[in-house]
Structure 1
């Protein structure tokens, strides 16, 4: 936290903007990410931004209360101290929710996000919205009382199958093929 200018207990979110330039999204309106960051900062909460593109970085550099890490960080540790994770992808939201941190995935298409749906069904604090405007009420609620949205995920994680056995089996099968 100190490396990026934050103190323990200081409220912040982790934000990774949605993909904007992929061909499969070319017909969709871009989300106003600056408005989302301004909204979060207006609640007295800082934004740790992991931009996807140079133009996202440039737009955010002018905003008060937005921190853009200069190098790679231990994101799992960062998540655990954050109030909320907002991401346009799935990985950060999934990782954060499995740590018990409320996590929002902004994905504008009407495709199912099977892993997210599974985690939500199991009770992990993961939410999906198609636009940040749809997510604003929940974002506001979480920022008002982040601890009431955090959960202890140890019992949920204990119910999941360890991936080690299937990985070991697959590696052994590959060894037989080679």
Structure 2
């Protein structure tokens, strides 16, 4: 079978990694396309995968995104039309369902962000809609999703690709001393993000006087800003760090939204969300489970207190990771069942 996967942002690389490995082992061929945004191309190159870059990131404004949208679909069609694709699978790629429908290819679309406007056309044109059980079905239906198309999986998206790695990470954390605070700034280019920018400067400055602080930026512009701002007393990696490095070395994680914050939380790593916009349903789920602390205006002293008294959440995460295993198999069988 020949399966097309489209990557439009960094979290999708981790999401599809175990599926790509298993599908390749089963003899299926994966055709990959990528939008050059954030650290996506760098991460794909690190995996050593063969992929085609089509399109780049666009400005945050809705108008800019709408103007760029049809152009990338036309470019995707041109690249794919003679590739004899059997099935298209995308995680939050709004381009994929429309492109697939125009080429008469069946598609599976999954997303865990109920605020993304791109869900509206994606729900309409996708053949199968794969959603986490923790995302409100009512919200999905309000964006045009058909009940007949929806498959709900247990838990949250991050469990789908982390359940295999969890035991190894737990073992490494028990052996190593965690001494760094990792901070992930806000998703400035995302259409759904309406919060503040560069609001973490004071917190980073104060924490860096007591801890090793690593700022995991979302692109070149953000990396340049933090490198200039903090110069030598804060680490701003030039390339995306290996996930295992972050997870095993992380004393505490502070995230201003996005998948990485949830990744750390479901692994039981002390995690604080400082997200400045409306929370997603999946984030509320982790907060209610006690795996994520939501403190959008947290002070450096509160972070210090948190790292000193926080309990080990590794055992709490096991139930969610077990759901992730079930969800992974559900998605895999959905893919295999849709191919011919």
- CA offset at residue 34 of structure 1? 2.0
- CA offset at residue 48 of structure 1? 1.2
Alignment pair present for 1:150 and 2:299: no
Out of 210, 219, 242, the position equivalent to 1:74 is 242
Q: 1:25 to 1:71 in 2, by over 3 A?
A: closer
The 8 Å contact of residues 178 and 251 in structure 2, kept in 1 or not, is answered as no
Tell me, what secondary structure is at the counterpart of 1:135? coil
Alignment pair present for 1:160 and 2:326: no
- Residue in structure 2 matched with residue 118 of structure 1 by the alignment: 285
CA distance in 2: counterparts of 1:54 and 1:73, whole angstroms = 15
Out of 176, 201, 204, the position equivalent to 1:34 is 201
For residues 81-100 of structure 1, what are the structure 2 equivalents within 5 Å? 81-100=249-268
CA distance in 2: counterparts of 1:115 and 1:86, whole angstroms = 17
- Residue in structure 2 matched with residue 52 of structure 1 by the alignment: 218
By percentage of residues, which structure has more strand? 2
CA distance in 1: counterparts of 2:181 and 2:227, whole angstroms = 16
- CA offset at residue 24 of structure 1? 4.7
- CA offset at residue 158 of structure 1? 5.9
Aligned residues, how many? 160
- CA offset at residue 126 of structure 1? 1.0
Q: Which has the larger radius of gyration?
A: 2
Tell me, what secondary structure is at the counterpart of 2:183? strand
Structure 2: 5+ residue runs without aligned partners? 1-175
- Residue in structure 1 matched with residue 120 of structure 2 by the alignment: none
- CA offset at residue 127 of structure 1? 1.9
The 8 Å contact of residues 12 and 82 in structure 1, kept in 2 or not, is answered as yes
User: What are the Cα deviations for residues 146-170 of structure 1, in whole angstroms up to 9, with x where unaligned?
Assistant: 6x33322364346535223311331
CA distance in 2: counterparts of 1:29 and 1:121, whole angstroms = 25
Tell me, what secondary structure is at the counterpart of 2:331? helix
Q: What CA RMSD, in Å, does the superposition of the two structures yield over aligned residues?
A: 2.7
Structure 1: 5+ residue runs without aligned partners? 1-7
User: What are the Cα deviations for residues 60-113 of structure 1, in whole angstroms up to 9, with x where unaligned?
Assistant: 324243112232322233122211111222311111112211112222123x32
Output the TM-score relative to the length of structure 2.
Answer: 0.41
